Each structure stands twice: as structure tokens, then as C-alpha cells.
Amino acid sequence: MKNEHNYVTNLDIKFEHLQKIDVPQLVKDCKDKWFNQTLTKVNDSVVRLGIVEGDYHWHKHENDDEFFFVIEGKLLIEVENNETIELNAGQGVTISKGIMHRPHAPIKTIMLMVETSIIQPTGD
């Protein structure tokens, strides 16, 4: 779905259990600057693929933690205490519920996110 921030966010589950997920092919097919696709559901959580470049807006999730893991590129996550967490390929971080944060990708970045299936990716 497109929204006022010009992000493409697909909350539908693209792959069922036992169906192979080909991340390089999804990356190759992506033409958007900030793309988010739910890949699969694991119990009460989902795994999402982010293919991103540029800024996301400041937001928070009152009731949900959010895990980011960079596969390729660089992700900077600004948090409310003026700290910036820098994630490079092979690095991840969990942002606790209730923390204001703003992801920024200075270069094209491929990442996985793990979060509850009911989270609103754009924040509460």
C-alpha cells in the first residue's frame, strides 16, 4: 500500500510455510526507494524484508518491540536520546517498544525486520 510518506508497505504474507523465499530475486525486482514486504509469519510474529534508501519518519510502537537486521548496506537508526545506532551488513538491533526512532539508509540497504504481526510499521 502507498501512503503519504511514499513508502511501499505490503502487509500481506507473501510466502507460506515450506515455500522457498528468494531474497536476491525480490531485491532484483524492487524498483522502489523504500519498500517493505512481509515475507512469512512465525507464530505471532512476522519477518519482513526492507529494501530502503533515504529517510523514514520519526515514529514509535507503544506495544511492540522491533528487530532490524542488515543483510547489505548501512542503516542508521536515530533514537529519541540523540543517539544514532549504525548497523552494517551482518549487524542487528532491537528497538524497545515506546522508543521514538527514525531509520535512515544513506545507501541502498537490504534488511530483515522481525515484529509482531499486528504492528503498524509507520508507528502508532
Mean pLDDT, 10 residues at a time, the chain of 124 residues: 70 97 97 96 97 96 97 97 96 97 98 94 85
CB 10 within 8 A of CB 32: no
- pLDDT given at position 27: 97
The phi, psi pair for 24, rounded to 5°, reads -55, -35
The residues facing 28 across adjacent strands are none
| Alpha helices (runs of H) in 1-124, residue ranges in sequence order | 23-29
CB 62 within 8 A of CB 124: yes
pTM: 0.92
- pLDDT given at position 6: 82
Give residues with Cβ within 8 angstroms of 57, minimum separation 6. Answer: 5, 102, 122, 123
